């Protein structure tokens, strides 16, 4: 049996073994398990049940990992995207006042479209139509938006009538709890310690309970929370996708998921040494697993999913096959028995994780050609627009409207893909709908 599994995952061809793959799977799990607690916290802002989202996140992640491991044989884990869950909760549900059930229906429709365009190989064509500079700007902008959320939730940045935002109070214990977690995370990340974000969350939670800033749970292990409050909610509300505003939301889910997954897949494939002659072997299978995972997540009851950059931790310790993420998926299922920890993982515990992820995503800004103003202007509007409008979609819209205008003014209109002109028009309509 063992030899058949090794043969299926091509251990010999990839130069790996059970011990190495298992350690890699454990490392990937430790590096990304924070999503199990962060995702319910973020999505609860939309009115979703925390316990149900906890279970949905665990099982959707496990299924996503199994699909990627079996279909593509890649050591790349799939889970709920931090950028997309923030857009889902804060932009769509809170900002647009769209019920979370309808937003889940939007995720389901986006996933169906995702599968269709992947099957017809249109996904690569659409991705290619967007300039690489704007792709980098979107990733960096989402990073700043996530970091801003973390700073606000942790009490480091608060609203102010005269200056819009200002530093929070340093006379509040929970603010210092966030600072402690951030310092620990920065030290561990700088020292390249595997699972840095998770370790910092554990340390912050322990300090919070020790100082009575966080309540100590009466139990640590419990039965798995029911997923019923969110399960299939998107499917049963699909009829509510009947307005231009909702179709813009669906399009944004689709668009942002494109960039998130495409960039992550390329980066991780390069790290693992899979890229040959500027091509990724079995990339079609990886995209199929990714799109199928997004559909599964929408049915389970969570926001759009995608390849997780924390998979780099498992790859760094030798993970080379899909067996790595099979191990990761199994560990996520076992993690469902620890739901009481949801009460311990407060905003102050997750805030440093959001800030750190924001820092990592901001690295993509180095790829933008800032010296070319016709490129820098739309890229800057995307990056700055996301945190200042408190909306990922608004930031994308600002840049995509400005891009064809700046390129035409620079006498480079012919360099603009026709699809980008269409996107510019769509986002002008998007602004019109939002201001009805």
The tens digit of pLDDT for each residue in 14-54 reads 777 888 888 888 777 876 777 888 888 888 888 888 888 98
What is the SS3 assignment for 179? helix
Query: How much is the average pLDDT of 391-404?
Result: 84
Per-residue confidence band for 376, with pLDDT thresholds at 50, 70 and 90: very high
pLDDT for the residue 266: 67
The structure tokens 């998926």 sit at: 329
The structure tokens 């995307």 sit at: 382
- Taking the C-alpha atoms of residue 217 and residue 219, their distance in angstroms, rounded to an integer, is 5
- Taking the C-alpha atoms of residue 394 and residue 387, their distance in angstroms, rounded to an integer, is 10
The pair of structure tokens assigned to 77 is 């884990």
Chain centroid to Cα 412, Å, comes to 34
- Taking the C-alpha atoms of residue 128 and residue 123, their distance in angstroms, rounded to an integer, is 9
Nearest to 11 by CA among 332, 326, 307, 310: 326
Residue 233 has pLDDT above 80, yes or no: no
Neighbouring-strand partners of residue 78: 307
Query: How much is the average pLDDT of 117-134?
Result: 75
Residue 196 has pLDDT above 60, yes or no: yes
pLDDT for the residue 254: 79
Nearest to 82 by CA among 154, 156, 143, 33: 143
For residues 208, 181, 149, 355, the Cα torsion angle rounded to the nearest 10 degrees is: -160
- Taking the C-alpha atoms of residue 436 and residue 434, their distance in angstroms, rounded to an integer, is 6
- Taking the C-alpha atoms of residue 30 and residue 33, their distance in angstroms, rounded to an integer, is 5
The pair of structure tokens assigned to 177 is 């709890």
- Top pLDDT among 35 and 317 is at 35
Judge contact between 21 and 314, C-beta under 8 A. no
pLDDT for the residue 76: 87
Judge contact between 82 and 354, C-beta under 8 A. yes
Per-residue confidence band for 373, with pLDDT thresholds at 50, 70 and 90: very high
- Top pLDDT among 151 and 198 is at 151
- Top pLDDT among 369 and 19 is at 369
Per-residue confidence band for 124, with pLDDT thresholds at 50, 70 and 90: low
The tens digit of pLDDT for each residue in 128-153 reads 677 878 878 877 887 788 788 889 88
- Taking the C-alpha atoms of residue 102 and residue 191, their distance in angstroms, rounded to an integer, is 43
- Top pLDDT among 141 and 378 is at 378
Query: How much is the average pLDDT of 189-194?
Result: 84
pLDDT for the residue 184: 93
- Residue ranges per domain, the chain? 9-145+219-338, 370-436
**332-336: long-range contacts at Cβ-Cβ below 8 A with a sequence spacing of 24 or more?**
332/29, 332/33, 332/36, 332/58, 332/59, 332/61, 332/62, 332/65, 333/58, 333/59, 333/62, 335/33, 335/36, 335/58, 336/54, 336/55, 336/58, 336/59, 336/224, 336/225
Judge contact between 203 and 68, C-beta under 8 A. no
DSSP category for residue 225 = P
pLDDT for the residue 2: 64
pTM over cut 0.85? no
- Top pLDDT among 179 and 2 is at 179
Per-residue confidence band for 263, with pLDDT thresholds at 50, 70 and 90: low
Q: What spatial distance separates the first Cα and last Cα of the chain, rounded to whole Å?
A: 62
Residue 71 has pLDDT above 70, yes or no: yes
Judge contact between 345 and 41, C-beta under 8 A. yes
Residue 428 has pLDDT above 80, yes or no: yes
The structure tokens 């889970």 sit at: 79
pLDDT for the residue 361: 76
- Taking the C-alpha atoms of residue 161 and residue 413, their distance in angstroms, rounded to an integer, is 42
| Mean pLDDT score across all residues of the chain | 82
The tens digit of pLDDT for each residue in 73-110 reads 888 899 988 777 887 888 788 878 888 888 888 888 88
DSSP annotation string for 122-165: HHHHHHHHS-HHHHHHHHHHHHHHHHHHHHHHTTSEEEETTTEE
pLDDT for the residue 278: 55
pLDDT for the residue 434: 53
pLDDT for the residue 351: 83
- Top pLDDT among 273 and 38 is at 38
- Top pLDDT among 335 and 433 is at 335
The pair of structure tokens assigned to 2 is 């063992």
Residue 378 has pLDDT above 90, yes or no: yes
Neighbouring-strand partners of residue 279: 276
Per-residue confidence band for 432, with pLDDT thresholds at 50, 70 and 90: confident
């Amino acid at each position: 049996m063992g030899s058949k599994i090794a043969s299926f995952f091509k251990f010999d061809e990839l130069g790996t073994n059970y011990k190495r793959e298992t350690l890699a799977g454990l490392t990937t799990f430790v590096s990304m398990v924070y999503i199990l607690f962060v995702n319910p916290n973020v999505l609860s802002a939309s009115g979703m049940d925390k316990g149900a989202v906890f279970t949905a996140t665990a099982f959707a992640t496990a299924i996503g990992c199994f699909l990627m491991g079996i279909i593509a044989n890649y050591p790349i884990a799939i889970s709920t995207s931090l950028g997309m869950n923030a857009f889902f909760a804060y932009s769509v549900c809170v900002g647009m006042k769209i019920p979370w059930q309808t937003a889940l229906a939007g995720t389901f429709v986006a996933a169906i479209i995702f599968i269709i365009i992947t099957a017809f190989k249109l996904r690569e064509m659409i991705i290619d139509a967007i300039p690489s500079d704007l792709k980098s700007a979107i990733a960096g902008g989402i990073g700043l938006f996530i970091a801003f959320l973390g700073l606000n939730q942790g009490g480091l940045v608060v609203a102010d009538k005269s200056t819009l935002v200002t530093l929070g109070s340093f006379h509040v214990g929970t603010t210092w709890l966030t600072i402690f977690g951030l310092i620990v995370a920065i030290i561990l990340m700088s020292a390249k310690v595997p699972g840095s974000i998770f370790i910092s969350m554990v340390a912050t939670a322990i300090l919070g309970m020790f100082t009575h800033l966080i309540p100590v749970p009466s139990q640590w292990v419990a039965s798995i929370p029911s997923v019923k409050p969110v399960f299939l909610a998107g499917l049963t509300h699909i009829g509510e996708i009947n307005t231009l505003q909702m179709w813009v939301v669906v399009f944004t889910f689709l668009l942002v998921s494109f960039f998130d997954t495409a960039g992550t897949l390329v980066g991780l494939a390069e790290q693992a040494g899979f890229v040959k002659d500027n091509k990724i072997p079995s990339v079609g299978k990886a995209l199929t697993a990714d799109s199928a995972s997004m559909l599964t997540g929408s049915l389970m009851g969570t926001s759009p999913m995608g390849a997780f950059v924390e998979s780099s931790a498992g790859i760094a310790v030798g993970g080379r096959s899909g067996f790595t993420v099979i191990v990761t998926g199994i560990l996520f299922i076992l993690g469902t028995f620890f739901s009481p920890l949801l009460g311990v993982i407060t905003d102050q515990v997750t805030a440093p994780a959001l800030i750190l992820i924001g820092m990592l995503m901001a690295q993509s800004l180095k790829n933008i050609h800032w010296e070319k103003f016709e490129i820098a202007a739309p890229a800057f509007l995307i990056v700055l627009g996301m945190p200042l409008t408190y909306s990922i979609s608004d930031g994308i819209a600002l840049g995509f409207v400005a891009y064809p205008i700046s390129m035409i003014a620079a006498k480079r209109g012919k360099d603009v893909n026709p699809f980008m002109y269409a996107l510019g028009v769509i986002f002008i309509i998007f602004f019109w709908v939002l201001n009805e």
